[in-house]
């Protein structure tokens, strides 16, 4: 700072010009409780004059550890409750700057249960800084941190091998850790990994080069943070512009305000509006200071279009010919962030760019065990779990894979009851999705093989909830007539329904069960019209549990006899056991089959059985 | 594909070196990046909330926030009003500046004072800074937010101001009593803010959370943003109390028999209620001089405000109670 101080005193205008042109770098610092992360951050802030004199004074006063002048970790310890517990339990943001760059540090705790906080801090980071205690070497926890950093798409990783002072600044110790970690990091997706041997406590190689480690030629931690190239990390290739807000100050002006997620745009460029797919050209790019000849990510601008096309918030402008995927079904890696575990029966909200819409989790495909970093199949995800899921949104989204675009490949899930942010997600490239599936375990016993597609999932594809309608009643009471009328009615309502009619065919119960099960599992609204007894009906209903509805066609025996043409009534009224608790009871004496069908359809709707 | 399109795409399949050059030439400085992010936040709130309001304290941070808001909706006017909590003890020059600024830019300004507090003559001298701040600022703010039915209120707080603010979210949820629960905040990832509200809840939004004091000054300099003249050194009448210079802004300041106001060349690093805001001796009359002084003094900016030193963790306490 001494040169800097001198510059400030001598030439403040020159200093201001230099500082106006700085770059912004975000880093996330992760480490375990005792590996000195707070001390490293405190040291960075202190040695770059990022703390104020009175803060320094307060910290000096509060430093209690013996034999130490300043407890650097106190600069970063936050809320009162946390200070009392002695651990940080949330994400805190710190700021410092040098002549070259302004730095935003997301300070996140490294316990295993706090995956959530690390994901939060990592989501916007350009650089991840992982601390490794030189005495302990590469722990499972270090691998976990690196994996999460890679999952969240951080391009650059810096590994600070800390507490070198406690290992006599031994190069061998450092080399072993570098080799160990490098072997592991090859599996991850970082552009580059930089190692720095440091002592945060003593200040070696943090801001000032260490004289005690002359063997290290790679520069200090600050050197690295000032130099690592980050401008190229942006996606400047694919123009993506989610519309945030429509500006209409008067009848003549219509501008679409937003932040450019990726890419470059100029007036005259051809663009396509999603979802309408209308094509037009950019008429102008406006900002407060005037019109721009070119705009690029991550600028916030307003775009005017040449034609009067319909555009509103949630729509996306893209360059014609460079469309994102327009999908309502895709797979993603998610970090689950809520105490309440994922519930595939529940409908969540998804926020993706400037769109918020309802979404169903169609399937939980796998969970990544953080101990082994291997994927296993599971039914649900709980707090701090990382897993792969398949989603179906109620409106199509305009998506890219997270690897190619950190803005249009990202989303959050919101619990629509509690409004909590329950998960964050990174979209997997739709095309390559299949090849990334976890490999089958050859030792898995054959008996566990069953359909991986649930009736609900198929129903979603058809835009409905599958259901089972069981029509029962005495022979010739009108079951089949009502069944076909209901099939017609539901089809007219846009549902996919079919009738399983074995009246008078002598079908066995096992065949009937097999057929009903196949149709129901195919996601259809299955209407069974069968001469069944109470036990058979109960068995049928278990196929669909809550989605089963029993309807009693209670046509009077006299009318049945008149309708009968199979001779069922020739030897007197045949035996029929009345259902004990039908959901609905109706008679052809009162209603034509079409009206009866309408009543049943209304009941289904009331119960939410066929609509999503 | 049109010929025009094929040219564009061929120029885009250039080699990696060209790509890197293109990226470097299209670099946004940290100030422009902060600006873009803040504008994004302001637009997002305007789009997702029914009834937002922007708190306007007339200080330098508010001036930056107001500029960002004007940029966010240009060429349209602000789609929400600005709200000033007038404790009746603000510097005269602040009020003049406020009225001129809002008139010039056609901004809907709402001014609120806690009338009960005013009737009871709650003031910093008889009731102490704690009680006074609670009644005339915290309670007044909660009253104004409630009576306006606002579901989102922008504030100009920055995370670098105080340790407890380092963990504050951009969207900070308040329960129906306007209180902040530091243990129950939503995680914020990327630029995807969860603005879903439960009945009775509201949010405070801090669009300049990631700006530091230096960033604010650099931006004011770069953008030539007008600020209240009190930030610049001038001869002003002051009395010294417990090592702090208090400006005699009007006749309401009670003077002890031995206290005689002296004309001193002073300026203010932060602005608030004049009896609670310490002046500092300074000869800085231009923005670069102010920035030089700030960098060299190297003192936490809030050390000039009396309310923060009451007890350890005091800002955090105030915030839980609803103070910004």
Q: Is A358 on the interface with B (CB under 8 A)?
A: no
b/e burial code for range A392-418 (CB count within 10 A of at least 16 → b): bbeebbbbbbbebbbbbbbbbbbbeee
- Interface mutation target, options B189, B210, B219, chain A, most CBs of A under 10 Å: B189
Least reliable range by pLDDT among A85-89, B6-10, B62-66, B133-137:
B6-10
Counting one residue from chain A and one from chain B, the pairs whose CB atoms sit within 8 A come to 221
> pLDDT category, A111, cuts 50, 70, 90?
low
**Is there a contact between B92 and B250 (Cβ–Cβ < 8 Å)?**
yes
> A359 or A113: whose pLDDT is higher?
A359
Res A607 pLDDT > 50 = yes
Least reliable range by pLDDT among A513-522, B70-79, B145-154:
A513-522
Q: CA-nearest residue of chain B to A402?
A: B190
Average pLDDT over residues A144-155: 93
Share of chain A above pLDDT 90, in %: 51
Q: Is A215 on the interface with B (CB under 8 A)?
A: no
Q: CA–CA distance from B319 to each of A10, A200, B71 (Å)?
A: 41, 33, 29
> pLDDT category, B302, cuts 50, 70, 90?
very low
> A611 or B154: whose pLDDT is higher?
B154
Q: Is B30 on the interface with A (CB under 8 A)?
A: yes
Q: Which of A23, A120, A258 lies nearest to residue B27, judging by beta carbons?
A: A23
Q: CA-nearest residue of chain B to A266?
A: B8
B141-150 residue pLDDT tens: 999 999 999 9
Res A220 pLDDT > 70 = yes
Q: What is the 8-class DSSP label of residue B183?
A: T
B218-267 residue pLDDT tens: 999 999 999 999 999 999 999 998 888 999 999 999 998 989 999 999 99
Res B298 pLDDT > 60 = no
Q: CA-nearest residue of chain B to A90?
A: B167
Q: Is B106 on the interface with A (CB under 8 A)?
A: no
A73-82, A581-590, A602-611: range with highest mean pLDDT: A581-590
**Rg over CA atoms, chain B:** 22
Res A424 pLDDT > 70 = yes
b/e burial code for range B140-171 (CB count within 10 A of at least 16 → b): bbbbbbeeeebbbbbbbbbbbbbbbbbbbbbb
Measure CA A114 to chain center: 17
Give me the pLDDT at residue A557, please: 86
- State the residue for tokens 């209304």: A602
Asked if B46's CB is within 8 angstroms of A93's CB, the reply is no
> pLDDT category, A573, cuts 50, 70, 90?
confident
Asked if B77's CB is within 8 angstroms of A102's CB, the reply is no
> A451 or B92: whose pLDDT is higher?
B92
Q: Which of A119, A253, A421 lies nearest to residue B194, judging by beta carbons?
A: A421
Res B178 pLDDT > 80 = no
Share of chain B above pLDDT 90, in %: 65
**Is there a contact between A225 and A25 (Cβ–Cβ < 8 Å)?**
yes
Res B117 pLDDT > 70 = yes
Q: How far is A8 from chain B (nearest CA, A)?
A: 6
- Interface mutation target, options A245, A270, A409, chain B, most CBs of B under 10 Å: A245
Contacts of A366 (CB under 8 A, 6+ apart): A375, A376, A377, A378, A387, A388, A438
Q: How far is B211 from chain A (nearest CA, A)?
A: 9
Res B113 pLDDT > 90 = yes
Q: How far is B139 from chain A (nearest CA, A)?
A: 24
For residue A293, what are its two tokens? 């000849």
Q: Which of B28, B163, B194 lies nearest to residue A412, judging by beta carbons?
A: B194
Give me the pLDDT at residue A432, please: 44
Average pLDDT, whole number, for chain A? 86
> pLDDT category, A367, cuts 50, 70, 90?
very high
Asked if B24's CB is within 8 angstroms of A231's CB, the reply is yes
Res A261 pLDDT > 90 = yes
Share of chain A above pLDDT 70, in %: 88
**Rg over CA atoms, chain A:** 33
Res A447 pLDDT > 50 = no
Question: What is the set of domains in chain A, with CATH numbers?
Answer: 3-233 (3.40.50.300), 240-319 (2.40.30.10), 325-452 (2.40.30.10), 456-606 (3.40.50.300)
Angle between helices A115-122 and A140-151 (to 10 degrees): 40
Assembly ipTM: 0.86
> pLDDT category, B171, cuts 50, 70, 90?
very high
Q: Which of B23, B160, B187 lies nearest to residue A337, judging by beta carbons?
A: B187
Q: Is the pTM value of this prediction over 0.80? A: no
If one counts every other C-beta atom within 10 angstroms of the C-beta of residue A490, the result is 24
Q: Which of B12, B187, B210 lies nearest to residue A93, judging by beta carbons?
A: B210
- Chain B, window 174-233: residues with a beta carbon less than 8 angstroms from a chain A beta carbon: 182-183, 185-192, 194, 196-198, 209-210, 212, 214-215, 218, 221-222
Give me the pLDDT at residue A510, please: 83
Asked if A53's CB is within 8 angstroms of B298's CB, the reply is yes
Give me the pLDDT at residue A482, please: 93
Least reliable range by pLDDT among A399-408, A426-435, B101-110, B172-181:
A426-435
- Interface mutation target, options B7, B8, B73, B192, chain A, most CBs of A under 10 Å: B192
Q: Is A585 on the interface with B (CB under 8 A)?
A: no
> A478 or A157: whose pLDDT is higher?
A157
A474-483 residue pLDDT tens: 888 888 899 9
């Amino acid at each position: 700072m001494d040169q800097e101080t001198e510059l400030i005193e001598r030439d403040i205008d020159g200093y201001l010009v230099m500082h106006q042109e700085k770059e912004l770098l975000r880093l996330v610092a992760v480490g375990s409780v005792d590996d000195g992360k707070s001390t490293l951050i405190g040291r960075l802030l202190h040695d770059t004059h990022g703390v104020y004199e009175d803060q320094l004074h307060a910290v000096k006063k509060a430093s209690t550890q013996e034999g130490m002048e300043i407890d650097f970790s106190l600069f970063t310890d936050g809320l009162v409750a946390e200070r009392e517990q002695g651990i940080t339990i949330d994400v805190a943001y710190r700021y410092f700057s040098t002549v070259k760059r302004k730095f935003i540090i997301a300070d996140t705790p490294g316990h295993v249960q706090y995956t959530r906080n690390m994901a939060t801090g990592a989501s916007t980071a350009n650089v991840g800084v992982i601390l490794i205690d030189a005495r302990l070497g590469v722990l499972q926890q270090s691998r976990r941190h690196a994996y999460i950093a890679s999952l969240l798409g951080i391009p650059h990783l810096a590994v600070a091998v800390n507490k070198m002072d406690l290992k006599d600044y031994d190069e061998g110790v450092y080399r072993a850790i570098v080799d160990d970690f490098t072997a592991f990091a090859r599996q991850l997706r970082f552009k580059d990994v930089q190692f720095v041997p440091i002592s945060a406590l003593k200040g070696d190689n943090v801001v000032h080069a260490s004289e005690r480690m002359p063997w290290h030629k790679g520069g200090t931690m600050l050197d690295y943070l000032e130099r690592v190239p980050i401008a190229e990390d942006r996606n400047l290739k694919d123009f993506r512009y989610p519309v945030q807000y429509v500006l209409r100050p008067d009848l003549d002006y219509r501008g679409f305000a937003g932040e450019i997620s990726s890419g470059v745009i100029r007036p005259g460029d051809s663009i396509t509006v999603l979802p309408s797919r209308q094509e037009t050209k950019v008429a102008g790019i406006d900002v407060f200071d005037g019109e721009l000849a070119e705009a690029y990510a991550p600028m916030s601008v307003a775009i005017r279009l040449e034609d009067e096309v319909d555009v509103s918030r949630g729509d996306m402008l893209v360059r014609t010919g460079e469309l994102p995927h327009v999908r309502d079904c895709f797979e993603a890696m998610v970090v689950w962030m809520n105490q309440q575990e994922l519930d595939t029966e529940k409908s969540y909200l998804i926020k993706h760019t400037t769109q918020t819409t309802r979404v169903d989790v169609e399937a939980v495909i796998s969970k990544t065990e953080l101990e082994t970093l291997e994927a296993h199949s599971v039914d649900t995800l709980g707090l701090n779990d990382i897993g792969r899921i398949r989603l179906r949104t109620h409106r199509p989204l305009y998506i890219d894979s997270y690897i190619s675009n950190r803005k249009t490949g990202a989303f959050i899930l919101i619990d629509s009851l509690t409004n909590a942010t329950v998960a964050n997600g990174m979209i997997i490239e739709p095309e390559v999705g299949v090849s990334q599936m976890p490999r089958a375990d050859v030792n898995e016993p054959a008996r566990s093989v069953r359909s991986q597609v649930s009736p609900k999932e198929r129903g979603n594809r058809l835009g409905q909830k599958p259901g089972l309608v069981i029509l029962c009643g005495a022979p010739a009471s009108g079951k089949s007539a009502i069944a076909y009328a209901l099939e017609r009615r539901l089809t007219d309502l846009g549902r996919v329904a079919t009738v399983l009619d074995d009246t008078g065919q002598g079908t066995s119960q096992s065949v009937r069960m097999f057929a009903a099960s196949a149709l129901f599992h195919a996601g259809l609204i299955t209407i069974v019209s069968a001469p069944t007894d109470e036990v058979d009906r109960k068995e049928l209903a278990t196929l669909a549990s809550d989605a089963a509805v029993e309807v009693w066609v209670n046509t009077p025996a006299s009318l049945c006899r008149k309708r009968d043409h199979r001779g069922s009534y020739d030897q007197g009224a045949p035996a029929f056991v009345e259902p004990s608790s039908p959901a609905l009871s109706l008679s052809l004496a009162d209603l034509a089959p079409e009206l009866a069908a309408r009543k049943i359809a209304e009941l289904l709707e009331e119960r939410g059985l066929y609509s999503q | 594909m049109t010929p025009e399109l094929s040219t564009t795409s061929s120029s885009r399949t250039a080699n990696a070196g060209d790509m890197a050059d293109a990226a470097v030439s299209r670099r946004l400085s940290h100030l422009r990046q902060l600006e873009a992010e803040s504008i994004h936040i302001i637009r997002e709130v305007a789009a997702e909330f029914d009834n937002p309001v922007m708190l306007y304290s007339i200080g330098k941070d508010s001036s930056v926030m107001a500029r960002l808001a004007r940029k966010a909706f240009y060429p349209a006017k602000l789609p929400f009003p600005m709200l000033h909590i007038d404790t009746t003890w603000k510097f005269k020059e602040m009020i003049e500046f406020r009225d001129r600024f809002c008139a010039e830019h056609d901004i809907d300004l709402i001014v609120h004072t806690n009338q009960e507090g005013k009737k009871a003559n709650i003031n910093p001298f008889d009731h102490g800074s704690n009680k006074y701040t609670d009644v005339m600022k915290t309670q007044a703010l909660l009253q104004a937010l409630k009576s306006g039915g606002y579901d989102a209120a922008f504030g100009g707080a920055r995370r670098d101001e105080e340790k407890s603010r380092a963990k504050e979210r951009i969207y900070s949820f308040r329960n129906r009593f306007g209180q902040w629960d530091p243990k129950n905040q939503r995680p914020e990832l990327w630029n995807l803010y969860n603005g879903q509200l439960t009945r009775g809840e509201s949010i405070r939004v801090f669009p300049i959370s990631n700006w530091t004091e230096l960033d604010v000054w650099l931006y004011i300099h770069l953008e030539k943003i007008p600020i209240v003249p009190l930030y610049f050194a001038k001869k002003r009448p002051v009395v010294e109390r417990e090592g702090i210079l208090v400006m005699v802004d009007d006749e309401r300041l009670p003077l002890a028999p031995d206290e005689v106001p002296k004309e001193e060349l002073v300026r203010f690093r932060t602005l608030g209620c004049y009896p609670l805001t310490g002046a500092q001796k300074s000869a800085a009359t231009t923005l670069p001089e102010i920035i030089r002084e700030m960098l060299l003094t190297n003192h936490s900016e809030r050390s000039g405000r009396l309310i923060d030193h009451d007890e350890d963790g005091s800002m955090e306490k105030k915030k839980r109670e609803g103070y910004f």
